[in-house]
Chains A and B, each alone.
Chain A
Amino acid sequence: MATAAITAERENYLNQEYGIKSWLLTVDHKRIALLYLLSITFFFFIGGFFALLIRLELLTPAGDLVQADTYNKLFTMHGQVMVFFFLIPSIPAVLGNFLVPLMIGARDLAFPRINLLSWYLYIIAGVLMLHCMLTGGVDTGWTFYTPFSTAFSNTKVIEAGLAIFISGFSSILTGLNFVVTIHRMRAPGMTWNRLPLFIWAHYATSIIQLLGTPVIAVTLVLVVLERALHLGIFDPTRGGDPLLFQHLFWFYSHPAVYIMILPSMGVVTEIVPCFSRKRIFGYKFVALSSISIAVFGFLVWAHHMFVAGISLYAALIFSALSYLVAVPSAIKVFNWTATMYKGSITFSTPMLYAFGFIGLFLMGGLTGLFLAALGIDVHVTDTYFVVAHFHYIMVGGAVMGYLGGMHFWWPKISGRMYPESLGRLAAVIVFLGFNLTFFPQFILGYLGMPRRYWQYPPEFQVLNVLSTAGSTILAVGYLLPMVYFLWSMRYGKVAPDNPWGASGLEWMTSSPPPTFNFDRPPVVDWEAYDYENIPAPQEARSGG
């Protein structure tokens, strides 16, 4: 159990330098990834804490745990923290930062200091958000709709808006770094068609980050100005249009959901071929579908506004476009399935998360089509149906992809193996807990329970109780990996370079990698996912 008898530890990015300064002033993309890992995990706890309080309140039909105004703050801050401080950075800032240079054969990202700046901006934004929450919070909903946010809310809208504004810059700079890196720093022989699809997914994500985030940035500026100076841009009593805010807000926030899901899809596309021992089916389709999702994702934003007062003609256009955006996602699901067909499947922890992702993302995506239909949307919008839909994608999809990725690359990141049986157990607990939490919410929504309500008619109680029960199981499923990942850093089996027998340049360097990634710059002359030529996984060396 002790780690004493390992063969002399090679110099790697973790042990090359010690001390807090070497971490806080690092420009090594791998260390920055770990800084992000700690920060987003912290915010995941905060967002999860708010979720816990929400689910506790909803155990009973009456509003008896908190005041109504407090409840408004709970769901607002749950949403803001989870979206802006957990989901949007999660995979790109942790796995993307760590893996993008490794996967393309580069020594670091194009702009290492800007990478560190990204993290500091995130931290500043996070501290500002924490301060906002501790000194009163916000109650506008994460969507900040006007004129409530600009003229009527008595909460700290300006502070929250500024915090999100700053976090947006963190996001933009990450995207900028990735695009330049992928274009300019690929190793010799690493052509576009040999890139891991994880890279294509992050490239597409980065395009959205670059082109979408500035719009919410300027929108938040306008909201802050309006609130501080009483301008009237969004105030209907003074000639303003509240829907203008919604157009500008959703122009970013819809593509933002693709920022949250595309990287996860990239993770799944790395895991599935590895544990099917088969190359990905339809490489070009998967690559192009990522780019299509990014582009089409910008065409559909007003489907969040069908009942808000937009014209019927606009609603028809956006409804049709929303059907279009489902097509590339469906293509991916077909490709993953076809990859598994006649493959040699191993039900490892990452693969379990990938299976979970595919099933749950499918349900989330299909229910999105329900919502894209104008007639159905009128009935279920602003109900728990929508809440269930987006949680299926963001939790059942994005978070499971994130966890699957963390398990898949943990040996590379830490140099240790996590305990596989505990990993599988946690994956199953997450899957079961998730479904118990959110499937009842589809039914609740269809039956008419509105979202963001603090009390509800007694006939909805059973489903709400099931949902809360599910959330506690889900919480256990999330806590387990945190415990055993930490445990593994000291007591886990030492990981070999390539414990899974996976394809990709990151597996051709040591676990953990040296600071400059490769002892010798790689030259690529093979195709991606050539699993016919990759030997079966090695057994991990045992420590002690």
Chain B
Amino acid sequence: MADRPIAVEQHNPALKHHFVDMEQQREASSLGMWLFLATEIMFFGGMFCAYLIYRYWYFPDFAAASSSLDITLGTVNTAVLICSSLTVVMAVRSAQLGKRQQQVVYLALTLVLGLAFLGIKGIEWTSKFKEHHIPGPTFNFEASLPGHPDQPVDQHHAQLFFSLYFAMTGMHALHMIIGVGIFTYLLYHAWKGAYTPEYHTPLENSGLYWHFVDIVWIYLFPLLYLIDRKK
């Protein structure tokens, strides 16, 4: 920080006038994004709370419902998001090193992976639709409790699982869609050379958002897909 001439810092065209210098602006933006992520933790947390309580109450029914989710697609999607977090990190690194071309490539890859995630999610949801596992008047979950072939799963409890499944993965998908929108915007501006070693704050902060959405999925995956796969 000391090597950068003050004149450049205070006349960077990206400096907003209510800030004293670029460092104050950068620190303020970063703190702002972290605080926003804290609110998101509480937002998703409310749904995790509902999920936890009903899983505690209706464990066998939830386990049966969970086992009807496609574990392969779920695992693949988890891997897709992890790869996208890598490409985000590499995009930020490229900006830090002043490599415009590289930035653009990594951002484009991130977009592709994000869209892939949404595509796979779409496939999963479509199969749920076909199996009549979408909550509502057409809901029908024919199965018996794991390990007890003579005991049918309670339809109401299974529907609760799927209500929470769709609410949580739906909210997550909504955040992914917003992320895709943000990264499209970043891709365009990166291509125009907006992000340099001196100023790449939007890239960094959007990266934080993307990683957060990844972390939500990291928890959703075992909680929704892997309740009880033993039998």
Contacts and interface: CB of A to CB of B under 8 A. Distances in A.
Contact of A185 (B24, B36, B164): B24
A210 B43 CA distance: 10
B14 interface: no
B28 A184 contact: yes
Contact of A176 (B36, B58, B156, B164): B36
A225 interface: yes
Nearest to A107: B18
A232 B71 CA distance: 26
B126 interface: no
B224 to A, nearest CB: 16
Given A180-B31, A215-B45, A172 B157 contact: no
Contacts of B154: 239
B156 A214 contact: no
Contacts of A109: 18
Interface centre among B32, B40, B57 (most CB of A within 10 A): B32
Given A106-B18, A239-B156, A231 B163 contact: yes
A244 B50 contact: yes
A230 B38 contact: no
B40 to A, nearest CB: 7
Contacts of A172: 39
A322 to B, nearest CB: 21
Contacts of A440: none
A184 B27 CA distance: 7
Contacts of A225: 163, 167
B7 interface: no
Interface residues of A, number: 41
Contacts of A218: 43-47, 171
A242 B154 CA distance: 19
Contacts of B35: 176, 179-180, 210
Given A211-B42, A225-B167, A244-B50, 15 more contacts: A176-B32, A183-B31, A185-B18, A214-B40, A215-B42, A215-B45, A218-B43, A230-B135, A231-B160, A232-B156, A232-B159, A233-B160, A238-B159, A239-B57, A239-B160
B24 to A, nearest CB: 6
A233 B19 CA distance: 47
| Secondary structure class of chain B's binding surface, majority of residues | helix
A240 interface: yes
B161 to A, nearest CB: 10
Interface of B: 17-19, 24, 27-28, 31-32, 35-36, 38-40, 42-47, 49-50, 53-54, 57-58, 135-137, 154, 156-157, 159-160, 163-164, 167, 171
A108 B20 CA distance: 11
B167 A219 contact: no
Nearest to B44: A218
22 contacts: A106-B18, A108-B18, A112-B18, A176-B32, A176-B36, A180-B32, A183-B31, A185-B19, A210-B38, A211-B42, A214-B40, A214-B45, A214-B46, A215-B43, A217-B46, A218-B47, A231-B135, A238-B156, A239-B54, A239-B58, A239-B154, A239-B156
Nearest to A241: B53
Interface string A196-212: 00000000000000111
A179 B56 CA distance: 37
A172 B40 CA distance: 11
Which has the most chain B C-beta neighbours within 10 Å: A183, A212, A229? A229
A486 B156 CA distance: 60
Nearest to A183: B31
Contacts of A185: 18-19, 24, 28
A244 B53 contact: yes
A366 B53 CA distance: 34
A185 B171 CA distance: 34
